[in-house]
Amino acid sequence: MNNKINSIEYRISRLTRRQRTQDIVLMSLYTLSVLGVGIVAPNALQLFKYVEKYLPQKTNIKTRTSQAITRLVAKGLVVRTKNAGRTVLRLTRKGKEAANAIEIRQKVSPQKPKRWDGKWRIVIFDVWEKRRSVRNKLRIMLHNTGFVKIQHSVWVYPYPCEDLFVFLRADLRLGQGMLYIVADEIEHDARLRQHFGLPASLSS
């Protein structure tokens, strides 16, 4: 069972990193297009320089960016068009909508307060198997925000995040399939406190 769980977590971790790179590339394309900069493939030097600011220093920027572009094209978010004999990358309408959604998500991301109020924010969701892609997207979003999974489809975070919850439930069309709980305590929360760098008690 542990090997299976570890395998699932590894796949989610890889998906998370992959999705983060795609989001960075998508938002970079969106920003550069707003600035009126055309991105010429395959070198896309302007894009590489822009993406470089948001990925770890040891990352192979060209490889990661190229892989992300390929996946974005496959998803219909980006197209390659010809202009004066050159291949140019452009966002589709679907790509612009996705970029707008990312921008909104960034605005509703929770801010860490100066002092923890001692309450836990718990998200529980029940998504049908036929909506597996939505379930994976939700897991990735929660992971990227900083939530920690404590049980299957149960994630926890220590700071207020109502705006993010409302956005995710509406964006993913989850309705009552996603619940938000504010709890005064979680049993055996020492590891969670350590993970989030929280005091052992509010008086600490």
Q: Model confidence over 122-159: pLDDT tens digits? A: 999 988 878 888 888 888 888 888 899 998 899 999 99
Highest mean pLDDT among 38-52, 95-109, 150-164: 150-164
Residue 164, Ramachandran bin (φ over 0: left; ψ between -120 and 50: alpha; else beta): alpha
| Assigned CATH for 120-196 | 3.30.70
* pLDDT for residue 117: 92
Q: What letter would DSSP give residue 124?
A: E
* pLDDT for residue 163: 87
HEC secondary structure over 148-192:
EEEECCEEEECCCCHHHHHHHHHHCCCHHHEEEEEECCCCCCHHH
- Are 76 and 94 a contacting pair, CB within 8 Å? yes
Crossing angle of helices 132-145/162-171, nearest 10°? 160
In the predicted model, what is the mean pLDDT of residues 28-47?
A: 67
Average pLDDT, the chain: 80
HEC secondary structure over 84-100:
CCEEEEEECHHHHHHHH
**Helices H / strands E in the chain, number of each:** 7, 7
In the predicted model, what is the mean pLDDT of residues 36-61?
A: 66
Q: Model confidence over 51-99: pLDDT tens digits? A: 777 666 666 778 888 888 889 999 999 888 877 777 788 889 999 888 8
State the Cα–Cα distance between residues 187 and 120, nearest whole angstrom.
11
* pLDDT for residue 202: 63
Closest CA to 66 of 99, 46, 49, 43: 43
**pTM for the full model?**
0.57
Q: Which CATH architecture has domain 2-108?
A: Orthogonal Bundle (1.10)
pLDDT at 1 over 50: no
State the Cα–Cα distance between residues 124 and 120, nearest whole angstrom.
13
Beta strands in 23-134 (DSSP E): 39-41, 78-83, 86-91, 120-125
1 versus 153: the higher-pLDDT residue is 153
pLDDT at 5 over 50: no
- Domain residues of the chain, as ranges? 2-108, 120-196
- Are 44 and 89 a contacting pair, CB within 8 Å? yes
* pLDDT for residue 123: 95
